[in-house]
Amino acid sequence: MSEAVPDSMYQEIILDHYRNPHHKGLRDPFDVEVHHTNPTCGDEVTMRVRVHDNVVEDVSYDGQGCSISQASTSVMTDLVIGKQVDEALATSDVFLELMQSRGTMEPDEDVLEDGIAFAGVSRYPARVKCALLGWMAWKDATAQAVAKSTKETS
Amino acid sequence: MTAVLADRADPVGTPYDVEAIRRDFAVLSREVNGKPLVYLDSASSSHKPRQVLDAERQFVEQHYSNVHRGVHTLSQEATDAYEQARATVAAFIGARHDDVVFTKNVTESINLLAYSFGNAAPGSRFALGPGDEVVVTEMEHHSNLVPWQMLCQRTGATLKWFGLTDDGRLDLQAGVITERTKVVAFIHQSNLLGTVNDVAEIVRRAKQVGALTVLDAAQSVPHMPVDVTALDVDFLAFTGHKLLAPSGVGVLWGRGELLADLPPFMGGGSMIEVVEMATSTYAPPPERFEAGTPVISQAVALAAACDYLSAVGLDNVAAHEAALTARLLDGLRRIDGVRVIGPDSMDMRGSAVSFVVEGVHPHDVGQSLDDIGIAVRVGHHCAAPVVKRYGVPATTRASSYLYNTAAEIDVLLDGIEHVKRFWA
C-alpha cells in the first residue's frame, strides 16, 4: 500500500489477508458444501465444512469478490478451524455484533484476533454484507453439518 | 408555476455555461471526505436543481390538496397543477396529454403493462398464451426483464432475447422475432453499457409480425431529445429521479388507441366510472391506470424538471455529455489495465461508461474513489446478465449529466491512477 488514506476501511491487516488468503482452495474431506452470493455486488463463495466430534475440523473455500469479502473469509477460517462448534458460533456472533455496531464497538482482540481490523468497515453499511458473506456461508454449512452428524449418530 | 430560465439558458450557438448550471445544484458545491464532490452517478439517480425544488415547495405551500376529488379551491388548483404537469410532460416527449400515465417509476410502468396484458380477455390483442412469444434483449435492466419473465410464467408464453456482441451492441440476428412474437420490449440506452439501440430497426421488425413494442427510455429521455411519434413505438417508460425530478414519480406513455383497449392493472379509487357492490366500470385513460391518490407534488416537480431541461435544450445536453464521454473514453484507453465494458466509440453511445480495473474488484475501486470524493456506481447495475455475458463479476460505472465538467472527468482519470497505485 503506497498511498494510505487516513481512516480508510482498508487496514493493513485486511490488505494482507486479501493478498495472501488463509485456507483458500476447496479441500476434502468435507461434510457439507454451500454456495452463497451477495446479490447486490455479485460476490460469491463456495465453502466446505468438516465437523468431527463437535469440532470444526476444516473449512475450505473458493470464490471471487472484493477485498473486504475475501479478507473477512480468510480471517474467519483462522478463527473457527480447530474450535468447538459452540465456541466458533459464539465468535461468529461477536463478529456479527461488531459489524452491526456502526463503528461504536471496541473490538476484543483476544476474541476476534485479526477480525478487529474490520471495526472500521462497520461504519460503511454498504460494505457490511461483504464482510459477512463468508461468515454467513460458514454458519449455514456448519448448521447443516451438525444436523447431518446428529442424524447419523441417532 | 415553473421557473423560467430564459435569463440563464444558452441560446443555440453560444458556449454551454456549465458553471451557471452547476450553481442551480447546491449539492455540487459540497465536499465528500475532504474533497470536492465529483458526482458521476447520474445514471443511477440525478441531482435536482433549485428550480425543481422551488416549484414543488411552492405547489405544496400554496396549492396542495388531493386531486380529482373536491370542489373547493385548493382541490381545483391542485387538480389544475397536476393536469398541467401531465401536459408539460406530454409535450416534453411529443405526446398527447391523455396518453401520459403517472406511475411510481419505470419498474411500475413496465409491471403495469405486463399485468394489464395478463388481465386481457382471451382473443384480445394483448392476451398471451402458450405458443406466443415475448422478446427482450440481454442488455435489459431488471425492470424490463423480470416483469416479462413473470408474465410468461403466468401465461405459458415463451421469453426470447437478442444477445450481445463483444463490443457491447445488440446482435440483431434473424429468427428471434417471429410470427409468434406478441411483444418486443427493449431498452433505448443501456444503463450499464451506454449503448444506444437502433429503435427504428427493431420497431420495423416488430411491426412486420404485428408485435407490440415497449421501450425502456429511463436512460434516454433525460439525456437526449425523445419524440414518441418519431420513435414509432407503442409504449414508452421513463422515470423522474434520473431526470432532475424527485424519486417517486415515473411515466408510462402509450398510444391512445392501445391504452383505450388495455384493461387496468390496479383497481381502486380514481380509476372507476360506476361502482356497485358486485362490479365496476372503469374510467378512460389515463385515470384508468392511476388507481388511488397519485404522486401529486412529485408530478408537478417532474414538469418543472422538464421545463428546466427544455430551457437548457436537450440537444445542448446531449452534445455536452458527448464531449465528456469522449474525453473519458479517451482517458481510459490511456490507462494500462483498464477495460471498457461496452462500446469504445462515440457512435450510438450515451454517457454511461462501465469499466473494470485489472486486479481490483469494482467495490474496492468505488470505495477508493469515494475516499477522494468521487461518486461512481459499482456492481451489476440491475443488469446481472450483462456482467455475466462479459465475464466479469461487476463493473465500475461513471455516468455524467448536464452539470458535470471536463475537469471532473480528469479528476476521475487521475483517481483511477490513484486506485491502481493503492491496490498495486
| Model pLDDT for residues B183-228, shown as the tens digit of each residue | 999 999 999 999 999 999 999 999 999 999 999 999 999 999 999 9
CA angle B100, B402, B346 (to 5 degrees): 95
Question: Could you tell me the CA-to-CA distances from B132 to B34, B100, B156, B181, B190 in Å, in that order?
Answer: 57, 28, 8, 6, 26
C-alpha cell at position A92: 461468529
Residue B315 pLDDT greater than 90, yes or no: yes
Q: Pseudo-torsion of CA B314, B40, A124, A9, nearest 10°?
A: 180
Q: What is the mean pLDDT of residues B55-67?
A: 97
The answer to whether B237 and B109 have CB atoms below 8 angstroms apart is: yes
Q: How far is B380 from chain A (nearest CA, A)?
A: 6
- The Cα–Cα gap between B302 and A77 comes to 52
Q: What is the mean pLDDT of residues B363-377?
A: 96
Task: Report the chain B residue with the minimal C-alpha distance to residue A70.
Answer: B361
pLDDT value at residue A125? 87
pLDDT value at residue A41? 73
pLDDT value at residue B14? 61
Question: Could you tell me the CA-to-CA distances from A132 to A43, A113, B306, B363 in Å, in that order?
Answer: 11, 16, 43, 15
Q: How far is A68 from chain B (nearest CA, A)?
A: 8
State the sign of the Cα–Cα–Cα–Cα dihedral B34, B39, B45, B51.
positive
Task: Report the chain A residue with the minimal C-alpha distance to residue B378.
Answer: A41
Do the Cβ atoms of A65 and B387 come within 8 Å? no
Task: Report the chain A residue with the minimal C-alpha distance to residue B423.
Answer: A1
Do the Cβ atoms of A1 and B422 come within 8 Å? yes
CATH number of the domain encompassing residue A102: 3.90.1010.10
Percent of chain B with pLDDT over 70: 97
Beta-carbon contacts of residue B70 (< 8 Å; ≥ 6 apart): B76
- Cβ-based burial of A124 (10 A; exposed 0-12, middle 13-18, buried ≥19): middle
The answer to whether residue A153 sits within a structural domain is no
Is B378 within 8 Å of chain A by CB?
yes
pLDDT value at residue A154? 61
Q: What is the mean pLDDT of residues B245-250?
A: 98
In 3D space, the residue among B314, B401, B316 whose CA is nearest the CA of residue B92 turns out to be: B314
C-alpha cell at position B134: 415475448
Using DSSP's 3-state secondary structure scheme, residue A111 falls into helix
Domain count, chain A: 1
Residues of B forming the active site: 382
- Cβ-based burial of B315 (10 A; exposed 0-12, middle 13-18, buried ≥19): exposed
**Residues of B with Cβ-Cβ distance to A9 under 8 angstroms:** 367
State the sign of the Cα–Cα–Cα–Cα dihedral B269, B274, B275, B278.
negative
pLDDT value at residue B424? 85
Q: What is the mean pLDDT of residues B231-258?
A: 98
Topology of domain B54-310 in CATH is Aspartate Aminotransferase; domain 2 (3.40.640)
Whose cell is 474496492? That residue is B364
Q: How far is A9 from chain B (nearest CA, A)?
A: 9
Residue A6 pLDDT greater than 50, yes or no: no
pLDDT value at residue A9? 81
- Band of pLDDT at residue B10, cut at 50, 70 and 90: very low
Residue B179 pLDDT greater than 60, yes or no: yes
Q: What is the mean pLDDT of residues A95-120?
A: 92
Ranges of beta strands (E only) in B5-149 are 31-32, 35-36, 38-39, 100-103, 133-137
The answer to whether residue A6 sits within a structural domain is no
- The Cα–Cα gap between B363 and B46 comes to 21
Is B391 within 8 Å of chain A by CB?
no
Residue B38 pLDDT greater than 80, yes or no: yes
The answer to whether residue A126 sits within a structural domain is yes
- The Cα–Cα gap between B26 and B209 comes to 50
Q: What is the mean pLDDT of chain A?
A: 90
Q: Looking at this protein, which amino acid is placed at residue A93?
A: D
Residue A33 pLDDT greater than 70, yes or no: yes
Q: What is the mean pLDDT of residues B366-386?
A: 93
pLDDT value at residue A7? 53
In sequence order, the β-bridge partners of residue A126 are: none
C-alpha cell at position A31: 461434510
Architecture of domain B313-422: Alpha-Beta Complex (3.90)
In sequence order, the β-bridge partners of residue B275 are: B280
Q: What is the mean pLDDT of residues B29-38?
A: 97
Q: What is the mean pLDDT of residues A127-151?
A: 92
Range with lowest mean pLDDT among A102-106, A130-134, B311-315: A102-106
- Band of pLDDT at residue B90, cut at 50, 70 and 90: very high
- Write the pLDDT tens digit of every residue in B115-131: 999 999 999 999 999 99
Domain ranges of chain B: 54-310, 313-422
State the sign of the Cα–Cα–Cα–Cα dihedral B357, B362, B363, B368.
positive
Q: What is the mean pLDDT of chain B?
A: 95
Beta-carbon contacts of residue A48 (< 8 Å; ≥ 6 apart): A26, A27, A30, A32, A33, A58, A59, A60, A61, A141
Nearest to A42 among B368, B393, B424 (CB): B393
- The Cα–Cα gap between A151 and A130 comes to 33
Task: Report the chain B residue with the minimal C-alpha distance to residue A43.
Answer: B393
Q: Pick the more confident residue, B10 or A7.
A: A7
Show the domain range for A139: 12-147
The answer to whether B355 and B395 have CB atoms below 8 angstroms apart is: yes
Q: What is the mean pLDDT of residues B392-411?
A: 96
Do the Cβ atoms of A41 and B379 come within 8 Å? yes
Question: Fold identical between B54-310 and B313-422?
Answer: no
- Residue A29, preceding peptide bond in cis (omega within 30° of 0): yes
Do the Cβ atoms of B424 and A8 come within 8 Å? no
C-alpha cell at position B414: 487521475
**pTM, entire model:** 0.91
Phi, psi of B32, rounded to the nearest 5 degrees = -130, 125
Count of residues in chain A: 154
The answer to whether residue A30 sits within a structural domain is yes
- Cβ-based burial of B27 (10 A; exposed 0-12, middle 13-18, buried ≥19): exposed
- The Cα–Cα gap between B58 and A150 comes to 67
pLDDT value at residue A152? 73
Q: What is the mean pLDDT of residues A7-15?
A: 83
pLDDT value at residue A42? 76
Is B32 within 8 Å of chain A by CB?
no
